[in-house]
């Protein structure tokens, strides 16, 4: 059908198209672009690798928008946690994606402008959730109604129940009509935040913070790097406890993190515990809240005994102190 030269040109063009797609739309391509940017001292166009798989849409809430600007007062009830998570997820949406929620509040006779106000938002979100409870007693269905509207949520709920399934957020999302992608993401983020607000603390509450979350001059590398957790100043051998029930996803040792545990709490929430002297649980094991999981230590890249505690939402590290009560006392001396 094609001459040999034409076929050769077609094969070349197809190969070039495949290389272009791999360069711009795969994790491997992102690594190549970042390496090239570093080598030539230019700005990389690569998105974070996990952004390819974290479920965020162009107008959905970003992870940074889900972190409270001030620490949340505690103790916080489960209903309060859900309300605060709903407020933060809504605030992180683009204005167009906020429309169904604001329209729903107006429909129910609630002040829609209060939902986006930092002082009134969590309280307004709780009132909205309470107003929907009679029609949507299931928490997942209620959140679907908040972000997608009552009619789409009712339709999705009826479809799921007709099929004999439980109304989980995943099943409800599949029954929503096209165009509600942001609502699905926001509802998932609200549930994730409900989990985060309920987390405990891995060591005694009085433990001092040796190094907070954020950019710092790395104590051993001497370069400015993001510190993706908080360093808790505890003596070697201190009991480390799980902050919530979950499944152990990693229990290993490496040169940087030392003996490290990663626990998956569901809903896209994970916690990590690094530099331990001994690990007491194994991969795949289910642990309970408050269960002894390790003894702290000084393993890996560390300048002194401490526990590096890390919290992640959708695989992105966030400051765990933003979900705790009040400021904590900084430890004196060098940061571990």
SS3 content of the chain, % helix, strand, coil (to 5): 40, 20, 40
Between residues 8 and 81, the one the model is more confident about: 81
The pLDDT, as a whole number, for residue 299 is 95
| Angstrom distance (rounded) from CA 195 to CA 278 | 27
Residue 286 placed within a domain: yes
Same domain, 263 and 170: no
Supply 176's token pair.
């929503």
pLDDT band at 100 (very low <50, low <70, confident <90, very high): very high
Task: Answer whether residue 58 is part of any domain.
Answer: no
* Comparison of pLDDT for 58 and 2, the residue scoring more: 2
How do residues 247-258 score in pLDDT, each as one tens digit?
999 999 999 899
The position carrying tokens 């709903």 is 86
For 145-187, write each residue's pLDDT tens digit: 999 999 999 999 999 999 998 999 999 999 998 889 999 999 9
Rounded Cα–Cα distance for residues 160 and 163 (Å): 5
Averaged pLDDT score across all residues of the chain:
82
Contact call for residues 280 and 300 (beta carbons, < 8 A): no
Residue 251 pairs in a beta bridge with 261
pLDDT at site 327: 39
Q: Which two tokens stand for residue 38?
A: 């570093």
In percent, the amount of the chain with pLDDT more than 70 equals 76
* Statement to judge: residues 274 and 164 lie in one domain: no
List 276's β-bridge partners, or say none: 259, 296
Residues 296 and 181 occupy one common structural domain: no
Residue 35 — very low, low, confident or very high, per pLDDT cuts 50/70/90? Answer: low
Count of other CB atoms within 10 angstroms of residue 192: 21
Residue 148 in domain: yes
Domain for residue 78, yes or no? yes
**What's the pLDDT at 241?**
97
* pLDDT at residue 226, rounded to an integer: 83
Q: Are residues 250 and 214 in the same domain?
A: yes
Q: Is residue 140 part of a domain?
A: yes
Q: How many domains does the chain have?
A: 3
Q: What pLDDT score was predicted for residue 238?
A: 97
* Shared-domain flag, residues 121 and 178: yes
Residues 80 and 187 in one domain: yes
Is residue 54 domain-resident? no
Which of 28-42, 57-71, 247-261, 271-285 comes out lowest in average pLDDT?
A: 57-71
Which pLDDT belongs to residue 33? 61
Asked if residue 185 and residue 230 are part of one domain, the reply reads no
118 in the same domain as 235: no
DSSP string, 179-236: T-HHHHHHHHHHHHHHHHHT---SS-TT--EEE-SEEEE-TTT-SEEEE-SEEE---T
Residue environment code for 99-125, b if the CB has 16+ CB neighbours within 10 A, otherwise e: ebbbebbeeeebebebbbeeeebbbbb
Does residue 333 lie in a domain region? no
197 has a pLDDT exceeding 80: yes
The CA distance from 101 to 145, in Å, is 8
Helix (H) or strand (E) holding 175: helix 169-175
d(CA 336, CA 331) in angstroms, rounded, equals: 10
Domain stop point among 155, 172, 197: 197
| Packed helices 78-91 and 121-132: angle between N→C axes, nearest 10 degrees | 110
Q: Quick one: tokens of 156?
A: 């999705």
Residue with tokens 């983020």: 189
Q: How confident is the model at residue 133 (pLDDT cuts 50, 70, 90)?
A: very high
Residue 332 lies in a domain: no
Q: Look at residues 141, 166, 197 and tell me which one is the last residue of a structural domain.
A: 197
What pLDDT does 229 receive?
A: 92
CATH value at residue 260: 2.70.70.10
Cα gap 222→185, rounded to integer Å: 39
pLDDT at 63 over 90: no
Closest CA to 152 of 128, 134, 179: 179
Position 109 confidence tier, pLDDT thresholds 50, 70, 90: very high
In 3D space, the residue among 58, 114, 52 whose CA is nearest the CA of residue 86 turns out to be 114
Domain of residue 266, residue span: 209-323
């Amino acid at each position: 059908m094609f001459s040999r030269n034409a076929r050769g040109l077609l094969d070349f063009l197809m190969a070039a198209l495949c290389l272009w797609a791999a360069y711009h739309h795969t994790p491997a391509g992102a690594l190549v672009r970042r390496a090239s940017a570093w080598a030539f001292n230019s700005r990389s166009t690569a998105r974070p690798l996990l952004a390819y798989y974290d479920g965020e849409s162009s107008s959905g809430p970003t992870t940074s928008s889900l972190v409270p600007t001030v620490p949340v007062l505690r103790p916080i009830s489960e209903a309060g946690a859900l309300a605060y998570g709903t407020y933060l997820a809504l605030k992180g949406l683009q204005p167009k994606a906020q429309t169904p929620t604001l329209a729903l509040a107006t429909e129910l006779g609630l002040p829609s402008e209060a939902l986006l106000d930092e002082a009134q938002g969590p309280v307004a979100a709780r009132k909205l959730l309470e107003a929907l409870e009679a029609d949507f007693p299931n928490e997942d269905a209620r959140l679907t109604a908040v972000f997608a509207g009552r009619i789409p949520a009712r339709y999705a709920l009826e479809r799921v129940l007709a099929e004999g399934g439980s109304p989980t957020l995943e099943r409800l999302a599949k029954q929503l009509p096209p165009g509600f992608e942001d609502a699905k993401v926001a509802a998932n983020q609200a549930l994730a935040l409900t989990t985060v607000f309920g987390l405990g603390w891995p060591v005694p509450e009085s433990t001092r913070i040796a190094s907070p979350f954020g950019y710092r001059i790395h104590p051993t590398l001497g370069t400015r790097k993001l510190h993706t957790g908080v360093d808790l100043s505890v003596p070697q051998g201190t009991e480390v406890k799980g902050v919530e029930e979950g499944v152990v996803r990693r229990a290993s040792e490496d040169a940087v993190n030392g003996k490290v545990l990663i626990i998956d709490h569901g809903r896209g929430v994970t916690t990590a515990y690094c530099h331990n002297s001994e690990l007491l649980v194994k991969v795949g094991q289910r642990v309970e809240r408050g269960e002894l999981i390790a003894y702290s230590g000084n393993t890996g890249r560390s300048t002194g005994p401490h526990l590096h505690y890390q919290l992640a939402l959708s695989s992105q590290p966030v400051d765990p102190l933003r979900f705790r009560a009040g400021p904590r006392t900084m430890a004196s001396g060098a940061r571990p």
